[in-house]
Structure 1
């Protein structure tokens, strides 16, 4: 008797297929094949492609702990927490993150799944606002600060995905925060 394929295996397969083909073009058959199960089993366990994606996003991105519940007085430490989180995320799941971000604009199914990760960004916004109010960061819309902070990490991960010959190492979160504070700190 064959062993049961774990949800984590199915989630990884779903995210890999979606990263490669996009959500709309990724078929449940392709996802099931990549996971090593049949399509009927996929539907029995997850009921729909959207539900599978929702559970995969929850399961995979929840594994990236981001403790931002109580920002402190050390702006560099809080920003390092954020950059380290997004660095790990983009290096391991960057392809699917970028694919889903692009497709959310046109797909209500994808947009609804990404509503949960949006709450994480709201927590990041709160940390940034906290440090702006303390006078530790330049005052600007928090999301602008966020993109300026994680932009180098995201672009490095994109470059590594696009250019197979890229020899750059992943971004160093401490160096990213140091450079960021040089231009955005007060």
Structure 2
């Protein structure tokens, strides 16, 4: 399985090793993703792997830190509802098209918290763009300032995340109407 995330790593050899590690993590789990299998998948020797990363844990930490989702965050256009609908659509399309990978990765990240001692920098970059979108509309006077941009982002994306896990993990059927989600979010938050 190829990883559906971009890896924010400049060194091509390290990028190959990190991609191989993540592929095997979702296929075999942390215990099953041996350094030998990772090196083979990356097309290098185990010695090369250990020259780049002193431990298996260090390799996985680098790989997870470098994860960067391909989500097109809209630039504020002046159309608050349209931009939020574009954000919800981009998020929904991303998680739906990469459902299998995400649903296999998440349990490993929960089972092995040492794999991610800090949030992935690529994910932080995406979230920073989302926060900026909400901040921009607060500064324009389109959204109330009763909540921080970070709180707004969590309130907006949280139900989408919950729906993804309920449908993916628990097979609960929940209809998703993105326009209704945006309208419900904006109710009481517009300036």
Asked if TM exceeds 0.5, the reply is yes
2:34 is matched with which residue?
Answer: 29
The 3 A distance-change label for structure 1 pair 38 and 75 is closer
Structure 2 contact 77–83 (Cα < 8 Å) conserved:
yes
The 3 A distance-change label for structure 1 pair 88 and 43 is farther
In structure 1, runs of 5+ residues without a counterpart are: 1-6
2:142 is matched with which residue?
Answer: 136
2:88 is matched with which residue?
Answer: 83
Deviation of 1:85 after TM superposition, in Å, equals 2.5
TM-score, reference length from structure 1: 0.65
Q: Distance between the aligned counterparts of 2:91 and 2:134, measured in 1?
A: 15
The 3 A distance-change label for structure 1 pair 97 and 31 is farther
What is the CA deviation profile of residues 158-183 of structure 1, one whole-angstrom value per residue up to 9, with x for unaligned ones?
A: 1012213x2334x3332211221124
How many residues are matched?
A: 163
The 3 A distance-change label for structure 1 pair 137 and 14 is farther
Match of 2:61 among 35, 50, 74: 50
What is the CA deviation profile of residues 104-128 of structure 1, one whole-angstrom value per residue up to 9, with x for unaligned ones?
A: 9x53x52446122112111111110
Deviation of 1:137 after TM superposition, in Å, equals 1.5
Q: Distance between the aligned counterparts of 1:156 and 1:121, measured in 2?
A: 19
Q: Distance between the aligned counterparts of 1:32 and 1:120, measured in 2?
A: 31
Q: Distance between the aligned counterparts of 1:122 and 1:168, measured in 2?
A: 29
